[in-house]
Amino acid sequence: MLENEAHIINQAQQGNPEYFGLLYDHYLAPIYRFVFLKVSAKAEAEDLVHEIFLSAWKNIEDYDHLGFPFSSWLYQIARHKVIDYYRTKRSNLDIENIGEENLKVANVMDNELDKNLDLDRVKNAIKQLNEDQQNVLIMRFVEDLSYQEISAVLDKSEGAIRLIQHRAIQNLKSKIQNYGEQFI
């Protein structure tokens, strides 16, 4: 969370682009990771992230604090954009049918990660989880969001989030083991 975030948001709501720029700089990386881990392709992730922040800028006056940080609102937008993406482009990129080649789309950081076979396996295994499990796993363990924040993003109770997390971890372990090679 940004320092003086409420003030920055208020200024952005009043139409000051430089303040929205501060929000953009702070939240770009986590939102990009969230989207990239769900769509796998760099170009698609960039397009979606651009749409997410554009939508946030256009509709920022609709944001009400209500005890949740700005990131929860951004993750909600991101989640809906990804759902729309898979609805419209399912024929081209189905999350269940993504092959190893698709996971190695050119990306400076992605190439570095691909050098590590274990990481590649983790990424691949995450993609095989269902949507809720992916969301919880990424938000909880990659982005360190609290259960309260995740429950606000996914519109589920904290108990449900804990249950999804437990199942996600179990599924992830079994998916990784199913690759046949001894992991870690």
Partner 1 sequence: MGSNLFNKIKLLKQIRPEADFALSSRRIILTTTRKPHYQFLFKKQIQQTLILSAAMGMAVVLLLIVGRVSNLPLEGLSPNLISSLNSKELTQEQESINFNIHLAEAKYYKESTTQVTMALNNDLDSVAMQKQAENINSLIKELAL
Contact in structure between 52 and 78 (CB atoms under 8 Å): yes
Supply the minimum distance, in Å, between the C-beta of residue 91 and partner 1: 26
Supply the minimum distance, in Å, between the C-beta of residue 103 and partner 1: 12
Does the protein bind partner 1 through residue 21 (CB under 8 A)?
A: yes
For the CA atoms of 172, 173, 177, 178, the dihedral, rounded to the nearest 10 degrees, stands at -40
Per DSSP, helices labelled H in 1-114 are 5-13, 17-39, 42-58, 70-88, 100-103, 108-114
Helix (H/G/I), strand (E/B), else coil: 66: coil
Contact in structure between 51 and 81 (CB atoms under 8 Å): yes
Does the protein bind partner 1 through residue 153 (CB under 8 A)?
A: no
Supply the minimum distance, in Å, between the C-beta of residue 5 and partner 1: 18
Taking CB under 8 A as the criterion, the residue among 4, 6, 14, 174 binding partner 1 is 14
Task: Give residue 42's Cα distance to chain centre.
Answer: 13
State phi, psi for 143 to the nearest 5 degrees: -100, -5
Taking CB under 8 A as the criterion, the residue among 66, 91, 108, 180 binding partner 1 is 108
Taking CB under 8 A as the criterion, the residue among 1, 4, 7, 15 binding partner 1 is 15
Taking CB under 8 A as the criterion, the residue among 26, 104, 123, 156 binding partner 1 is 123
| Continuous segment of H or E residues that includes residue 157 | none
Does the protein bind partner 1 through residue 110 (CB under 8 A)?
A: yes
Give CA angle at 155 (152, 159), nearest 5°. Answer: 85
Does the protein bind partner 1 through residue 50 (CB under 8 A)?
A: yes
Binding site residues, partner 1, CB under 8 A: 13-15, 17-18, 20-21, 24-25, 28-29, 32-33, 36-37, 45-46, 49-50, 53-54, 57-58, 60-61, 107-110, 112-113, 116, 118-119, 122-123, 126, 137-138, 141-143, 169, 172-173, 176, 183-184
